[in-house]
A and B are shown apart, each in its own frame.
Chain A
Amino acid sequence: MQSAQQLINGLMLGGILAFVAVAFTLTIGMLNFLNFTIPALFMLAAMVTWALSASGEHIFALGLPWYAAAAIGIAVAMVASLIIERFTYRYLKAHYGDATEHALPLVSSLGFLIIFEHAVITLWGSDPQRLELPFRDMDLHFAGLIVGIPHLFSLGLAITLVWVLSWLLKRSSIGRALRAIAENPDAATLMGVEVARIVPVVFLVTGMLSALAGILYGFSYSTVTPYIGDAVATDAITGMVLGGLGNVWGAIVGGLLVGLIKVFAISQFGAEIEKIPVWGLLLLILIIRPTGIFGKSRLGRGKF
């Protein structure tokens, strides 16, 4: 019974990691860009949701209903993601040709991560804050097991969104243009794909996914801090590598696996070593199977 509950906890944590892993894998697969601002957007959306919905002395303490605060949190993250696109990917591409050939976007996205963290700390301080949904009982109980409703919702939403996303990538005109950009941005331009107008769509989608993940994380664990992005980032990157770079379904499976490994490692060996199994697994995968569990990554194929 104990381990059945651990299994559920692991899958629930994995559901959130999967969200973030999908955001990572999408920018890597499409743009060959490891976007470190994803954890910043994750944290930003959660903190904005808390600030707007909580009542208190802090700035923007509007006491909005949770759903309005969450919607604004998502919108803020999406706008921030567009700004990041403008100043990391597009600016550097315009100045140095193919931005994907350079480490510059990666480094500048790390810069954005730190700037966002510290902007949030300056606004609202670094203390953990309570973010709670107004419903009284947030858990489902059956057969002695507890399943958190926000967790369950998170997992369901992640799978639904990825299904929609992969359907759009396959079937829509913009999806086909994106896959062409993923294969060869220069040739895509010459075929009439307006890369500069389509790339921001990737950033809007990653902004939305990261923000949803951050808000669901906040509601699931009832706590937000300006540092929640850091912890999630490393786990989500491991999930992404596990599933295969650029593979959105792989990212879901990878995220779930990392969630399980974390929860079981903590229950077996204690919280102090939780990073070791996750990073150990990442290194192991990179050594023995760098393409990830699913071998071929459909989007980033031929790029790594």
Chain B
Amino acid sequence: MNGAELSLAGVCKSFGGLTVIDHLGFTVKRGSRTALIGPNGAGKTTVFNLVSGVYPIDDGTISLDGEDISIVSPAGRIGHGISRSFQNIRLMPHLSTIENVMLGEHWRRPAFSLARGRRAVESVKAALADAGLQTYPGQVVANLPYGIQKRIEVVRALLAEPKILMLDEPAAGLNNAESDDLRALLERVSARGITLLVVEHDMHFVRRLCDHVVVLNFGRLIFEGTPEEVHRDPAVLEAYLGTDARAVQSDNTAKAR
């Protein structure tokens, strides 16, 4: 399985009169583990929504391995190898874990194939086990704890066999142990060559997982570099201290630990 390179160039998006993404351009390198960070309202989730096709872009191009995918349908983008999770969990609450996860591979199955052929079920169970979810396949997801649902979303996104996996705040709401489990899972994913793009507020998580950081503020790129460099950049510090000082503080406490 090979990763893909995602590039945004001159991307603009406005809602009504409000410009949310303003001539944004950056590249997520093949096989990298890139974090997309920024203060609240910086446009991180909008970037995800534009890349996965929830909204059309107003201007610019989004390309995957050099191919312009700006006007491909959301389902078509999954076929191109883009798969994502959501900030607010979007699982089908009344379907079982295994059914939710199998939705992830829907696009590559013929419409009238059996959904639960034995081989398909075995491979899905293996994917669940790899994420430490082997005990939950038959359970309805509405009844499962938040941290488990978060990981189910990741497994579902993985079953689409993505070249680039985009995760929107995967560690939010997880306790330390759960967060470590998730990071271990993502490291295994990365080892398979899949490109990772992660929106995350937990800088401790970012620094341990990611090798590249892209910082947005007001829909513009303000910094790009390694996780170590990001703390020393004055523009980043100003963006956070100006609007959301707690993020930097919590990061410093995390560093002290």
Chain A residues close to B by CB (< 8 Å): 171-177, 179-180, 183-184, 187-194, 198, 301-302
Flag if A174 contacts B111 (CB, 8 Å).
yes
Chain A proximity of B165: nearest CB distance (Å): 14
- A sample of 10 more A-B contacts (CB under 8 A), given A188-B103, A191-B156, A192-B160, is A171-B114, A175-B115, A176-B95, A176-B103, A177-B106, A180-B103, A180-B106, A192-B79, A192-B107, A301-B94
Once A and B bind, how many residue pairs between them come within 8 Å at the CB atom? 81
Complex Cα–Cα for A177 and B109 (A): 11
Q: Among B75, B94, B113, point to the contact of A192 (Cβ < 8 A).
A: B75
Contact among A179, A184, A193 for B75, CB-based, below 8 A: A193
Residue with the greatest number of chain A CB neighbours at <10 A, chosen from B52, B74, B78, B86: B74
Contact indicator B93/A173 (Cβ below 8 Å)? no
CA distance A171 to B109 in the complex (A): 13
Prevailing SS type, chain A contact patch: helix
Q: Cα distance A92–B146 when bound, in Å?
A: 36
**Could you tell me if B95 and A180 are in contact, using CB atoms closer than 8 angstroms?**
yes
| B99 contacts A by Cβ under 8 Å | yes
- Given A188-B103, A191-B78, decide whether A173 and B114 contact each other with a Cβ distance below 8 A: yes
Q: Which residues of A contact B113 (CB under 8 A)?
A: 172-173
Answer whether residue B92 sits at the interface, using C-beta atoms and an 8 A cutoff.
Answer: yes
Q: How far is the CA of A183 from the CA of B95 in the complex (A)?
A: 9
Is A187 touching B90 in the complex (CB atoms < 8 A)? yes
Q: Nearest Cβ distance between residue B161 and chain A, in whole angstroms? A: 11
Q: Are B106 and A190 in contact (CB under 8 A)?
A: no
A190 to B92, Cβ gap below 8 A?
no
> Chain B contacts of A187 at CB under 8 A?
86, 90, 92
What are the interface flags for B69-92 relative to A under an 8 Å C-beta threshold, 1 for contact and 0 otherwise?
000011100110000101000101
Q: Of B84, B114, B115, which is in contact with the most chain A CB atoms at under 10 Å from its CB?
A: B115
Q: B192 on the interface (CB 8 Å rule)?
A: no
Contacting pair A172 B92 (CB below 8 A): no
Q: Is the CB of A191 within 8 A of B103?
A: yes
Asked whether any CB of chain A lies closer than 8 Å to the CB of B102, the reply is yes
| Cα separation A23 to B154 with both chains bound (whole Å) | 36
B231 on the A face (CB < 8 A): no
Given contacts A191-B106, A192-B75, A193-B106, contact A180 B92 (CB under 8 A): yes
Q: Is B15 an interface residue (CB 8 A)?
A: no
Task: Please give, as numbers and ranges, the residues of chain A lying within 8 Å of B103 by CB-CB distance.
Answer: 176-177, 180, 188, 191-193
B227 within 8 A of partner (CB): no
> Which residues of B, 136-172, contact A by the 8 Å Cβ criterion?
156, 160
Within 8 Å of chain A (Cβ to Cβ): is B43?
no
Minimum CB–CB distance from B81 to chain A (whole Å) comes to: 11
The answer for the CA separation of A179 and B12 in the assembled complex, in Å, is 35
Given contacts A180-B103, A191-B103, contact A173 B74 (CB under 8 A): no
